Amino acid sequence: MGTLLLVRHGQASFGTDDYDRLTALGERQSLNLGYAWEAGGWSPDVAMVGSLKRHHQTAIASLDVLGDVDGYDQDAGWDELDFEPLVDAYAPGTPRDDPKGFQKAFVAATAAWTRAELTGVAETFTDFSARVLTAFEAVASSVGRGRTGVVFTSGGPIAVVAAHLLGGGPDLWSRLNAAMVNTSTTKIVLGSAGRTLISFNEHGHLPASDVTYR
């Protein structure tokens, strides 16, 4: 059997002009993940990232700790949904300087999106799920028996894969997506009988003071 870890990126710069970069805390979260892997003697045979800057920065910080990882590949199929237009379509004028208020609007907007209640969106939930699962099958097939892989991505794609493996639909996706911790890991076993979700949203490498959701 092979093993695949899905890693949510470190804390990004929400509320700034460039969300798609890690904060200082996000860098520290990513380093702590790498240190935990090093302490456990774990390193991947296959490494993949989405195309977003925060995916790359998380991968670099985590993998550089290990020192022996031979680079990584990129697949934009692992990119996050474009959530800001969804929030604006659902609740125009939602401020970006109130993380808790934005999170509430985000959860409501994405739930409406999964029910196809928002018009004029560039990517439907069905299309988003399809591209993520295509990317998942591609990397799962590349890992191979007895090998390990890691994907650095975002909460939305991880929730798609987890909900799919659990046999759930959009409602489960919404609940999983809302609970995702930055740099958490989700573990999947890749066996001859199929793919099995072993753990979700693990973040034991983080002290309580470093746990963030956005």
- Tens-of-pLDDT digits for all 214 residues of the chain? 899 999 999 999 977 777 899 999 999 999 999 999 999 999 999 999 999 999 999 999 999 999 867 789 999 999 999 988 999 999 888 888 787 888 889 889 999 999 999 988 899 999 999 999 999 999 999 998 899 999 999 999 999 999 999 999 999 999 999 899 999 999 999 998 899 999 999 999 999 999 999 8
Phi and psi at 178, nearest 5°, equal -70, -20
Q: Where are the beta strands (DSSP E) in the chain?
A: 2-8, 46-49, 73-74, 148-153, 185-191, 194-202
**Burial label, 172 (beta-carbon count in 10 A; 0-12, 13-18, 19+):** middle
First to last CA, the chain: 34
Give the Cα separation of 143 and 192 in Å (integer). 13
Looking at residue 196, its pLDDT comes to 97
User: 2-81+123-145+157-204: which CATH number, 3.40.50.970, 3.40.50.720, 3.40.50.1240, 3.30.1360.150?
Assistant: 3.40.50.1240
The answer to whether the predicted template modeling score (pTM) of the entire model surpasses 0.85 is: yes
Residue 95's CB: how many other CB atoms inside 10 A? 10
Looking at residue 187, its pLDDT comes to 99
Looking at residue 101, its pLDDT comes to 85
With tokens 């919404």, the residue in question is 174
Please tell me whether residue 14 adopts helix, strand or coil conformation: coil
Looking at residue 99, its pLDDT comes to 78
